[in-house]
Structure formats: C-alpha cells, structure tokens
Structure 1
Amino acid sequence: MTIRISKSIQLILAIIVTLIMFFPIYWLFVTSLKSTAELRTAVPSFWPEVLNWSNYATAFKKAPFDRFFLNTTLQTVGILILQINIAIITAFAFAKGNFWGKDKLFLLVLAALIVPDQVTFVPVYVMLAKLGWLNTFAALIVPHATSAYAIFLLRQSFKSINNDVIEAARVDGASRLHILYKILVPMAKPTIMTLIVLTFISSWNSYFWPLIMTNTDTMRVLTVGIAFMRESVGGDEALNFHYISAASIMVILPIVLVFIFAQKHIVAAMANSTFK
C-alpha cells in the first residue's frame, strides 16, 4: 500500500512538473492563433475563439523568413558536418591513440569548456574581419567547427569499446579510418546521435554569434530575424505579438521533432558518459 502511495505521489509530481515546463510552449502556440482583438482583452483566454492559421502566412510576409530558414539550415548542417567529424577523429585519438602528452592535451581540451564565447569573440571577430568573412557562411560555421564537449563525450564512448575489436580489424588489414567509421562509429551510435541532437539545437538556436557576424537580411538566421521583426513593429509589438509567436513556433518545431525522435539515444549516451 505504501509503495502504491509513493508511486502515485511520484506520478502526480511528474505530471505537475511536465505541465509547468510545457505551459510556455502551449501559451506561445495559443497566442500564435489569436486575433488582434483577443490580444487586446484585459483577461487573456486559454484558447482562441477562432483558430487563425493565417497568422503563420502573415508572419512570413512581415519578414523574409524563407531566406532566414535557408540560412539557418545551411549554418546548422555545416556545423553538424564539421563538428561531429572533427570530434569523432579527435576523440578516437584521445581514446585509442598512444602518444606523448595525451592526457595533458585532453585536460587542455576540457579546459576549453569553461571559456565562454563572449570571452573569445572579439579576437575571433577581428580575425574573421581581416579575412573578409563577415556576412558569409564561413563566419557562421567555421568558429563552431570543434566542440570540447563533443570530444569529451565521444572519448568516453570510444574508451568503453574493447580494444580486441580494433586489434581484430587491424589483423584483417583495416585502415584506421575504416576501423573508426565502420566499426567504432556504429558502436557509438547513441552518443553520436546525442551529439547530433545537441549540436542541432545549439546551432539552430544560435543568436549571439550570428548577430555579431551578420548585418544584412540575406545572411540573417531565424533567431536574429525574429528579434529584428519584433523591433520593426515598434510600439505596436503588443498588437503583433501573435505574428511573432507564430514565427517563434516555426523556429522551435524542428527542435521539438528532432528531440522526440532521438530521446532514447540521449538517455543511452548519458548513461555511458562517466569520466574514465
């Protein structure tokens, strides 16, 4: 009986926490479907009288969101390709390589985790400006080509793989890249899928770096585009908040879908990420 009561309390608490966490997204969605008249009411409603799906089309007309979507997609894909592959190769070296100073170098990589982007963006900005990369995809992608966290997570995953598998592949004449991409990578799939999701979310939601590196509509990403859309309506922000909400829903929808489909891989990877 006591166990049933305990499980019931846990279930109730889990439902309450879930509702609290989900409510902002629900409110954003509901607001995106309201009319201008409903936004003016003193007492907000928890569901619109009429579902105004046209707000999403109107939001697209208020700013070049098709271009923002393209820029965000290209930025995200570019960062994913570079960051994941560089992390795979580097983590393989730290996990299975045998060279002088390996552990000390890995500690330096971990030290990069405590350095925020706001500390390094000035010298990086000056360097990219001298290269003429401002307002280009290179400025949006290249500075994020490596990730200390990705290297750490993959190193832990590769270290958990038995060396006998690698030795057997070497006896069969497999090259290092073949061993890495054909044997180790499939075995570390949960971790790699987790990194893909985390990198996707980070890149898709990136705001500070694109704001600094771009200043034209042709190169702006979604997060910056929504911020400029909010500023463009000026004092009428309250009357245009349903359009801003509609644009925000379109931004977070890909993230929600990716997380839903990959959540089991995230749980499996986190369970295997203890420091070894």
Structure 2
Amino acid sequence: MRDSRMAGQGNGKLKYVVRGVIALLVVVVMFFPVYWLVISSLKTQAEMRMAIPTLWPQSFAWDNYAEAFRVIPYARFFGNTLLMSVGLIVLQLNVALMAAYAFAKGTFWGKEVLFFLVLAAMIVPDQVTFVPVYVMMSKLGWLNTFWALIVPHGASAFGIFLLRQAFKSLNNDVLEAARVDGAGRFGMLYRILLPMAMPTVVTLGVLIFISGWNSYFWPLIMTNTNEMRVLTVGITMLRDSIAGNEAMHFHVIMAASVMAILPIVAVFASMQKHIVTAMANSTFK
C-alpha cells in the first residue's frame, strides 16, 4: 500500500512537471514575436541584414526611435490616435450604459426582441456597412474629421451586452429605495448602478481603448491627410515611404511599432484583473 502511495505521488509530480513544461512552451511561443519585435527595433541596419539572425542586439541603436519621428509626423499620429480612442470611450460607454440600463431594469414592449437585434449586430463586420456609412459621412461633411472616426462607432453591441449582464446581477431593492428618495432615471444610473458595476465599466473602457487604438480599416477610409491620420495608418505610410527597400529599414518600422503598442500593453497589464472578473460574471441570463 505504501508503494502505491509513492507511485501515486510520483505520477502527481510527473503530471505537475509536464503541465509546467507545456505552459512554458505556450508562453514562449506566444511571447517570442513580441520579443523579436522589441530586439529588432534596437538593432542596426547592418545587423538586421545579417544572414544568420541574432537573438540579442550586438549594439543598441536607440536612434531608430528618433528616426521614426523624422520620417513621418509620429507625434501627430499618436495624438490623433489618443484623441480618437478617448472619444470612443466617452461616447460608447455612455450609450452602452443607458441602453444596458433600459434592457436590464426597464419594462417595455418588445424588450427581448430588441435585445436580440442588438446581439445580432455583433456579427456584422464594419466592411459590410462602411459604404452607406461613408456616404452618410460625406453628405454630412464629416470626412477627414474626428466626427467620422468616432460617431459611427458610438454604439457597441458587445458593450451593451456586457453592461446589461452586470446590471441584471444587481439587486432591484437599491433602485427602489433610490426611487422612493426621489432619484430620477439618470440619477439611479450614474449615481447607483455605475459605481456598483464599476469593474465591468472599467473593463469595457479598456476594451474600447484597445479596439480604438488598433483600428486600421476605418481611419484609413475616413481620413486622407496627415493631420488626421492615426498610428496604424501612419506605420503603413512609414513602410510605403521606403517602398522597395523595406528590408533595409525594418529596424525603423519595428521601432515605430514598439512605440505604438506600449500604451495598450500598459493599459491591459494594469487592468487585466478587472477584465477577467467582468468576463466571469457575464454569463447569458
């Protein structure tokens, strides 16, 4: 019997080691492209052209980052991206809060059908609707403005769903007490429900920021001057500005890409616990 216990302990340790090795391999596979991006941004042009790639820069070429600012108006693109992302957060959050409040706590005819239509909108990609929206933006005179970058994405079906699930999990007794005290709908939403669902709201804000920061297709078709370009389009311009000679300037392209991903990496790393909590509480009810 003692031998059986020892064999069981040995098998348990073996399984633990195997799981650890598999987890390590998964982390390496997923992290290696990011690692390669960072070290490539610090290599010299000569080292980037070597036949045998190096896993660590022979010398750190910090000038690559300054070169990215010289080739394109990088600071302008960064500011445009930040302003667009913040605008999307403000508009989408407020629209999602009000819609989610109606679907979670309101009582009106056709609520479930309308909510189903909202969910159905999640499967429709931007490429399907961009032509009529583009025509609409053109007729309004909003092309090449922040209005065209922000307003068409003012409503998020996923955001409405996420906040609705959070609001449905909250007790109605608190709202009834607030209503007795004379609170209106906006007061109950922004002064009671919003603080109680703050982890989900923060999570949605982070997701909106990441989505806006990574957006490429929409800013590409809605803007046509450097004054309104965003980072994703700007890095493409950086690549096109050295068309036919990309291999000699990959280090500059990599440096521009590293600076572009730093904000979303920082935001996601600092808020990841809220994302996990909100997703765990967002089962369909």
CA shift at 1:189, angstroms? Answer: 1.4
Q: Which residue of the partner structure matches residue 50 of structure 2? A: 41
1:197 aligns with 2:206: yes
1:70 and 2:79 correspond: yes
Q: CA separation in 2, counterparts of 1:107 and 1:34? A: 52
- Kindly provide the CA deviation profile for residues 182-202 of structure 1, in whole angstroms up to 9, marking residues without a partner as x: 211111112111111111110
Q: Secondary structure at the match of 1:68?
A: helix
AA matched with 1:131: L
**What is the match of residue 87 of structure 1?**
96
Are 1:146 and 2:146 counterparts? Answer: no
Give the letter aligned to residue 29 of structure 1: V
Report the 3-state secondary structure (helix = DSSP H, G, I; strand = E; otherwise coil) of the residue aligned with 2:244.
helix
TM-score between both structures, scaled by the size of structure 2: 0.95
Match of 2:131 among 122, 127, 133: 122
Identity %: 64
Q: What TM-score results when the alignment is normalised by the length of structure 1?
A: 0.98
Out of 255, 258, 281, the residue aligned to residue 272 of structure 1 is: 281
Structure 1: 4+ residue segments shifted above 6 A: none
Deviation at 1:45, TM superposition (A): 0.2
**Which one-letter code corresponds to 1:140 in the other structure?**
L
Q: How far is 1:234 from its partner?
A: 1.1
**3-state SS, counterpart of residue 27 of structure 2:** helix
Unaligned runs of 5+ in 2: 1-8
> Which residue of the partner structure matches residue 241 of structure 2?
232
1:253 is matched with which residue: 262, 267, 281? 262
SS at match of 1:103: helix
The correspondence for 2:179, drawn from 126, 151, 170, is: 170
CA distance in 2, matches of 1:76, 1:25: 23
Aligned to 1:184: 193
Query: 1:14-39, CA deviations, whole angstroms, 9 ceiling, x for partnerless residues?
Result: 22111111111110000000001101
Distance 1:4 1:186 in 2: 45
Shift of 1:4: 3.2
RMSD (CA atoms): 0.9
Other structure's SS at 1:275 match: coil
Indicate yes or no: 2:29 matched with 1:20.
yes
The C-alpha deviation readout for 1:37-84, integer Å capped at 9, x for no partner, is 101110000011111111101111110001101110111011110001
1:102 & 1:120 partners in 2: Cα distance? 25
Aligned residue type for 2:29: I
Which ranges of structure 1 fall in alignment gaps of 5 or more residues? none
CA–CA distance in structure 2, aligned partners of residues 101 and 38 of structure 1: 64
Question: Counterpart of 1:156?
Answer: 165
Give the counterpart letter for 1:214 in structure 2. Answer: T
> What's 2:6 paired with?
none
Q: Who is 1:212 aligned against?
A: 221
